[in-house]
Structures are given as structure tokens and as C-alpha cells.
Chains A and B, each alone.
Chain A
């Protein structure tokens, strides 16, 4: 195997807790469009567009975005494969429209016109009446939209590279986004049935995405991001997570395992208190998202690396601010502690965000290819 070339066998080995044949693979949940553009030196034509609406209009016969979509998919493939990732991320657009968004100025080095934040005090669904009126997505339309995007990407996929679809947010995330964290918390107390119904609606859609993704030939694994906590612990008590969230996440995993494919779970927050639930009950194959100050990747590798793959973990703060020489030593130390035995892929602690220093990010990739080489089995 050529260490510079993408080959999904490398990452697949890690997901099965094996040592990859040649070097440590790379894993990131996704890369911000500004980073994709900076690396490929090309422009993503639909980067700030509502992809769900665009796909819907293409399906209705509107051809004006077809070329742009094709172009963007090719650029995404170029980004991942030119850096040596063994897969390409297919970001599934959200079918849950919402307006409780706050826009603010972006101060990232590769800044975008506006950075959007979740309004935690306001939801688009705060009452039973809102719930009944909400335009819940139709599963057959979801399937058509997914297949349009999947097929467009799959057509251009190089040999040995696979697609890893990413659900449009997770089960808990979407419920909290739609309700707003404060109204959600109040409703948990005041109208538990409404919250349960929210999880049913959202869980049905997210698990359906997992099913239709895992069915596809070019899909190598499935990923879901479902941020569940703060630095000190989960947003919700383990009991509530066990009652409302984990059963739906388990359904998502089961829909992927049914097709013999691994499930990658991204969740920010210190989840030590529920990690056994995630491994034994939900059934995740890999955990992503780590932060040195509270849930460092090296610690998770030591605690859980014999049962699940550990992915990423290069701290976002260090990626964004550390001097290069210091950063290089830091990445080498992560490799030294996480690579032995396999089951580990190198990558950012969160995503390739537009606020990371590109110099550091590219150094991480370079070090991975050099210092991340495994012992040679046959000369």
C-alpha cells in the first residue's frame, strides 16, 4: 500500500480494532467549506446554500444546480483523497427546518459571512400545538434526496475509497435544536409526553437515514454526531438519556449493523458516566470528539480502546493556537500513546473547523504519514 494513497481497507481495519497495514489512517467528522476551498484552491459553489431545498428542486426537474452540485461533490472528494483520508464524507442535509438561529460575526482566520448559533431560549416547537403544525419530513422524499446526493458522489468516487455519510445532527441534538435547550428542559418537567413524541419523530427520521445509507454499496461506515455534554458531564441525567435518547441511538446503530457496517459516534462532552451504555447498549463501534482539558483521547484509548475504535483527538485549541514546533511534538505524543495495537485514527478533536491553523492541520497530516507508520510485516 502507498502511504499517500487512500485505501478504505486502512480505515476499515481500525474500525475493527486491527492494525492497519501501513500507517495510521485519518478521521475527521467533516471539514468546513472554507477549509475545503483553501486546500483545494477552488470554490464550493453551494457552500452556504440549503442543500435540502436544492436537492428537492433538482428532483422536481430544476436543472440549474445540477452542475454546481456535481462540481462540489468532486471538490469534496479531491479534498479528502488529496490529503490521504480513505473515505469521503457525505453530509446529509437537514430535513428539519428551524428559525431559532442567531447570526453573529465570524472571527475565524478563514471566516465566513456569518457564524450561526443555536438560540437556546427559543424553539420552533415549544408546545403540542407547535408539534402538530410542524412540517415533519416525509420519509420517501428524504430517501429520494439522499439517493440523489449519494449517487452524485458515488459516480465520481475513486477506486478503494468509500463514502461515510453523516446524519444531519443526532437524535438528541435535533430535539434540542428544534425545542431550544431551555424550553426543552422545561418541557421535560411539564409535558414529558411531548418530549417523548419529539424523540419518536426525530428518531424515526435519523434511524431511517442510517438504514438507507448503510444499504448503499459504496458506504463503508456510518457516522452520527450527537453532542450530549459539557466538559464536566452530560447535559441530561443518565436516567433520562437511557429512557429517551439511547434507545433511538441504538436503533440507528442496529440499522447500520444489519448491513455489516460499522457505526461511528461523535459526541462532544465528557461522557465517562455513560460510556458503558454507549458501548454495551447502544453498540457504537467508534467514538469521536475529544478535548484535552476534560476528556483527552489518550485516556479514552486506554480505558475503552480494547472494545471500540478511538478516532481523532488532536485538541482543537492546540490546532488553532499552538506554535508549530510544540504542536508537532504534541501530535507525536498522541500517536505514540494511541497507535500501538491499532484501533486508532488520527484527526482533529472535533472537525476541521475554519478556525484551525492550516499550518498545524497540515503538519498533523504530514506527521501521521511519517511517524504514524506501523511496523512492516513483510519486507
Chain B
């Protein structure tokens, strides 16, 4: 499998929006903004995150359905795109 570098963090807040989508099974997925406190890279890469990223808060969008999707204080993995965005913002 790949060696993609993914940032992880802890979900500190979840802001529900009014936007939603209905899937083919008629489930209503609510658009939410997750506030994430960055903790490090996932176990896939044994690399430390830049010090200035530690405890930084970023926002990512997640579409939620089940009750357990709204749990705070748990680990969350950013996508490759989101990871790149956060790392790029550091350089600029």
C-alpha cells in the first residue's frame, strides 16, 4: 500500500450546517464543519509534524449521518487533499 502522508487530529468541535444531501437509500447526510486540533501524522509515516503545526486548529467538512459521527474528542484523519492544504498554508 502507499506511503501517503496524512495528518491526524482530535475533533474539538462540530458545527452543523443547514445543508444536507440525500443518498440512494434516502439517508439524510448533514454537512458539518469539524474543528480539528492537529496532533501528528498517521502511523503510516514515522515522521514528526512541524512544530508550528502542533495544536493548530483547522476546519474540514464532513457529511454526517449516524449518531456516532458527531462524537467529539476522538481522532480524525484528514484526507490527502486536506493534508496538503494544511501543509501548504504553513509554507505561505
Contact = CB atoms under 8 A, between A and B. Distances in A.
Contacts of A343: 75
A379 B21 contact: yes
A371 interface: yes
Nearest to A261: B1
B77 A342 contact: yes
A17 interface: yes
A304 B73 CA distance: 16
A17 B74 CA distance: 12
Contacts of B75: 17, 19, 306, 340-343
B56 interface: no
B1 A220 contact: yes
A1 interface: no
B44 A378 contact: no
A341 B76 contact: yes
Interface size of B as a range: 20 to 34
A335 interface: yes
B71 interface: yes
B8 A339 contact: no
B65 A373 contact: yes
Interface in A321-356: 335-337, 339-343
B64 A375 contact: yes
Given A16-B42, A17-B42, A375 B67 contact: no
B43 interface: yes
A172 B69 CA distance: 40
A375 B43 contact: no
Given A12-B1, A16-B42, A18-B8, A376 B62 contact: yes
Interface string B57-92: 000111111111101001111010010000000000
B11 to A, nearest CB: 8
Interface string A364-379: 0000000101111111
Contact of B66 (A13, A17, A373): A373
B42 A375 contact: no
Interface string B5-37: 010100000000000010000000100100000
A17 B6 CA distance: 11
B30 to A, nearest CB: 10
B65 A341 contact: no
Q: Which of A220, A306, A377 has the most CB of B within 10 A?
A: A377
Contacts of B74: 340-341
Nearest to A341: B75
B65 A19 contact: no
Contacts of A377: 60-63, 79, 82
Contacts of B8: 17-18
A335 B68 contact: yes
Contacts of B44: 16, 18
A340 B73 CA distance: 10
Most buried by B among A9, A19, A285, A339: A19
Interface in A235-283: none
Interface of A: 8-9, 12-13, 16-19, 220, 285, 306, 335-337, 339-343, 371, 373-379
21 contacts: A12-B1, A16-B43, A16-B44, A17-B8, A18-B8, A19-B75, A19-B77, A220-B1, A337-B68, A339-B68, A340-B68, A340-B69, A341-B76, A342-B77, A375-B32, A375-B62, A375-B65, A375-B69, A377-B79, A377-B82, A378-B79
Top 7 A-B pairs, shortest CB-CB distance: A341-B75, A375-B62, A376-B63, A341-B74, A340-B74, A18-B77, A336-B68
Given A18-B8, A19-B77, A285-B43, 7 more contacts: A16-B44, A19-B76, A336-B66, A340-B74, A342-B75, A375-B62, A379-B21
